[in-house]
Amino acid sequence: MEPKLEELKQRLAEIYDLRRASSVLGWDQATYMPPGGAEARGRQIATLDRLAHEKFTHPTIGRMLVELRSYEGSLPYDSDEAALIRVARRDYERAVKVPSSFVAKFSAHAAATYEAWVKARPANDFAAVRPMLEKTLDYSRELANFFPGYDHIADPLIDFADYGMKAATVSALFAELRKNLVPIVQAIIAQPVADDSCIRQSFPEAQQLAFGQEVVKKLGYDFNRGRQDKTRHPFCTTFSLGDVRIATRVKENDLGDALFSTIHESGHAMYEQGIRAELEGTPLAHGTSSGVHESQSRLWENVVGRGRGFWEYFYPKLQTAFPLQLDDEPLDTFYRAINKVERSLIRTDADEVTYNLHVMIRFDLELQLLEGKLAVRDLPEAWRARYKSDLGLAAPDDRDGVLQDVHWYGGQIGGVFQGYTLGNILSAQFYEAATKAHPEIPNQIPRGEFGSLHGWLQENIYQHGSKFTANEIVKRATGQDLTIEPCIRYLRTKYGELYKLQHPE
């Protein structure tokens, strides 16, 4: 290999180690850390993040990238080496615009805000975190302003997570999706409400966790290279390609919560576990964008995991795990329960039809906050107003309103939520492409065979890590650019049948 490239890779591996170490500290903070550890932990994470940033933005890296330009030009576009240099350059050009001191300040602030939110949410005390959130908004705007020349102040933040996307693109896409979703929601809520009481019984925690683990093992999540722990807000985190962990919470009286979040997080995790080992320690060793990442969690959680075929295989096993609760419940009752559509207050509890409406509220509020059209002090009220207008509901308190999601309290405002809906759109698009390539997939799922689907994802998405951009991955894997058509088709078909809708459009 080109010696300059070897040298660059060594430097990048050191930075990668610092970032992964920071992830371990973050995982511990969210799973096992005692309260007394919080203060120092915020500082430790900030130190690691700052050092990683300092090392990555060191002029030597810039010089190496310049010196490698002609070598890069001699390589095929889709070689690992060309991709490594290309992605490192893109990340570098982005990173040098943000001073290390800013990264450290913001990182420490985010850790402290997270700790405050952990206390404020159960106490329903938005006022306790408001000053911190105001500072977060300042920091978020400051962060965006390190990238002048944007069309919208959210653009740089969106671009971090979903490279190639802008506020205007996303807004247009979301408007189109909303136009299609609202009539489906209207048609469904005109029907009798589905009965989900069968999954609202008491389900002991240990069995819930054991069953979830059995399921995701079968889907292809490798517990030799991962593990599951308990936390407040489910997440997936990567310490190396050989150690990709998931964490979830368990609600004793809601069977769906732990189960579907386990499948969801294992979808993220299988993506990272599937990255080719050759990419380890490089900037290519993670999923390519927030939207593509979310498409992998959503594909397994919803398109597969809430499908009827899936439960033809797993429902008898679930009944065996919970005989007292489910022995007398037919599969169809359960299937309708896990796909109950209703306008609700909590995004993470939302069904797949209304879910995107929750995301759009947050996305729009993020834009308004960043534009300066909405003040943090008015955010709880703006939140309530949007829930009223979009979902017909009024949150009784901030706990289930503006305090419900960790995101703004553990990072920046802006560029955070669009990925969820991009992921939902892509999950249907990828699944359609997979079944086109392997028409046997829908018949395999009821037999508990997930190898063809997992293999297609591995081949077309997982293995590449960040080697290709989201747009490139979508085009290569599906032959098309991102499109909402498969998503709309999927929802109309599934919910048309479920709710016996005549003209779902």
Q: Where on the chain is the footprint of a copy of itself (CB under 8 A)?
A: 13-14, 17-18, 20-22, 24-25, 28, 32-41, 43-44, 47-48, 51, 222-227, 229, 239-243, 245, 280-281
Residue of 265, 272, 294, 366 marked catalytic: 265
Residue by residue, what is the 3-state secondary structure of 225-264?
HCCEEECCCCEEEEEECCEEEEEECCCCCCHHHHHHHHHH
For residue 243, the cross-strand partners are 240
Closer by beta carbon to a copy of itself, 7 or else 364: 7
Are 482 and 471 spatial neighbours (Cβ–Cβ below 8 Å)?
yes
Closer by beta carbon to a copy of itself, 10 or else 493: 10
Q: Which residue is listed with tokens 């407040």? A: 232
Is residue 346 helix, strand or coil?
coil
Q: At what angle do helices 379-386 and 355-371 cross, to 10 degrees?
A: 150
Q: Dihedral sign, CA of 444, 449, 455, 457?
A: positive
Are 412 and 157 spatial neighbours (Cβ–Cβ below 8 Å)?
yes
Compute the least distance from the CB of residue 10 to a copy of itself, in Å: 11
Closer by beta carbon to a copy of itself, 33 or else 501: 33
One-character DSSP codes across 154-210: THHHHHHHSTT--HHHHHHHHHHHHHHHHHHHHHHHTSPPP--GGGSS---HHHHHH
Compute the least distance from the CB of residue 125 to a copy of itself, in Å: 21
C-alpha span between 351 and 339 (Å, rounded): 7
Task: Give 458's contacts (C-beta < 8 A, 6+ positions apart).
Answer: 274
Is 485 labeled as catalytic in the residue annotation? Answer: no
Are 304 and 296 spatial neighbours (Cβ–Cβ below 8 Å)?
no
Q: Which residue is listed with tokens 């959503």? A: 298
C-alpha span between 246 and 230 (Å, rounded): 9
**Angstrom distances, CA of residue 310 to CA of 210, 302, 317:** 18, 10, 12
Q: Which of 279, 248, 213, 271 is nearest to 79 (CA)?
A: 279
Q: Dihedral sign, CA of 316, 320, 325, 328?
A: positive
Q: What angle do CA 70, 73, 78 make, to 5 degrees?
A: 145
Task: Give 294's contacts (C-beta < 8 A, 6+ positions apart).
Answer: 268, 419, 420, 422, 423, 424, 426, 427
In terms of C-beta distances under 8 Å and separation of at least 24 residues, what long-range contacts does 70-73 make, across chains too? Answer: 71/2, 71/4, 71/5
How many C-alpha atoms does 290 have within 13 Å on its Cβ side?
18
Closer by beta carbon to a copy of itself, 97 or else 109: 109
Closer by beta carbon to a copy of itself, 43 or else 218: 43
Q: What angle do CA 160, 422, 79 make, to 5 degrees?
A: 60
Task: Give 64's contacts (C-beta < 8 A, 6+ positions apart).
Answer: 4, 7, 8, 11
C-alpha span between 203 and 324 (Å, rounded): 10
Residue numbers annotated as active site: 265
